[in-house]
Amino acid sequence: MPADLNDYFKKKNGGNGSSGGNNGGGGDRRPPNMNIEPPEFFKNLGKKAGFLYVLIAIIVLFVVAKPFVVINSGEVGIKATAGKFEPISMPPGFHIFIPFIQQVFVVDTKVRIMNYTSTEDINTFNQRGSGIKLNNAISILDARGLPVSLDLTVQYQLQADSAPQTIATWGMSWEDKIINPVVRDVARSVVGQYAAEVLPQKRNEIAIKIEDGIRANIDSQPGNPVKLLTVQMREIILPKKIKDQIEKVQVAKQEAERTKYEVERANQEALKAAAIAQGKANAREIQAKGQAKAIKIEADANAYSNIEIAKSITPTLLQLKQIEVQGKFNEALSTNKDAKIFLTPGGAVPNIWVDTKNTQKTTSITK
């Protein structure tokens, strides 16, 4: 315990004793003499005061200087000793450094996005710290000097192994020094080779050339500071005049395509009708041929039959037939007394008869 505090308690105890004597002799009503001892903590406080001062100083220093850092996943730490960056980055975890001599910079190694857009509120969005950086759309002059704009999205990632050298070379604003100028330069170089009106038709070709150009440029940077992931072309913004002209051309093309379709359809209909007519004609021709063939076969059959019949007629058969006819003729005469008889020369049946009961008819016949 400090000396002044001990003296205080001693004086307090002595004073109380003398006061007690005075109280006994003189009838003083003050309280009796009390021997008060200080707590043990205060007795040893003098011995421990130095340790306590050191402990308090360390705590204050720890709180004020904060000689530690916690690095999260997707980040790396870059330690600088006396202003010089160490070549090896600090992985995620808890790390201690020497205050006032050393300093740790924590940088993001997660995938980052840089958008070139003409629609977003850039100043408001960039303040969110979401790993997405917005820039104005890329202004480009086409092959004829007409202004066009390009909306792009670039995904990239800071290489963790080379992060100390990247920050030492480019600083904390390395994105605006490595990514942004390369993207703008390559986009202007590629798009500037085309006329504005053909840009929509050449969209895929232009997108591939831009990505290849950006990738080749960034990969060629010394120390391999950035890994380029993707480059996506979202929109080509054309002047109003060019847009109107393209729309007119598109309308004309659509009309031409529609007319072509109608002509093709008419041709198909005509070919279909011709095919149907040809089919019917072929069917009629086949039918006629069939009928002619049938008639010829029938005629051939009749001719053959006649030939065969002619072959079978003999004089005896003819005489027999004549007798049969004569018999029928005689029967007819017996029934029709007024019949006129005409004789025809030759043939198997030379006699025919006509019923002439009508007197007028008979007269005209006999004449």
Average pLDDT score over residue span 108-129: 74
pLDDT greater than 50 at residue 366: no
pLDDT band at 244 (very low <50, low <70, confident <90, very high): confident
Q: Which of 173, 182, 167 is nearest to 217 (CA)?
A: 182
For 67, 328, 356, the CA distances from 62, given in Å and listed in that order, are 7, 159, 162
- Residue located via tokens 């008889």: 341
Q: For residue 160, count other CB atoms closer than 10 A to its CB.
A: 17
Residue 362, pLDDT score: 41
Query: Between residues 13 and 102, which one has the greater pLDDT?
Result: 102
Query: What pTM, to 2 d.p., does this model score?
Result: 0.54
pLDDT band at 162 (very low <50, low <70, confident <90, very high): very high
Rounded CA gap, 111 and 76, in Å? Answer: 13
pLDDT band at 258 (very low <50, low <70, confident <90, very high): confident
Q: Mind listing the pLDDT tens digit for each residue in 309-346?
A: 777 777 777 777 778 777 777 776 677 666 655 555 55
The CATH superfamily assigned to 112-238 is Band 7 domain (3.30.479.30)
Residue 331, pLDDT score: 74
Rounded-to-5 percentages of helix, strand, coil across the chain? 55, 20, 25
Residue 262, pLDDT score: 84
Q: For residue 227, count other CB atoms closer than 10 A to its CB.
A: 15
pLDDT greater than 70 at residue 287: yes
pLDDT greater than 90 at residue 294: no
Average pLDDT score over residue span 161-187: 92
Q: In the chain, what are the domain boundaries?
A: 3-65, 68-108, 112-238, 240-312, 315-366
Average pLDDT score over residue span 249-271: 83
Q: Mind listing the pLDDT tens digit for each residue in 44-93?
A: 555 566 677 777 777 777 677 678 889 999 899 999 988 888 899 999 99
Residue 138, pLDDT score: 93
Residue 344, pLDDT score: 53
pLDDT greater than 50 at residue 238: yes
Average pLDDT score over residue span 144-148: 89
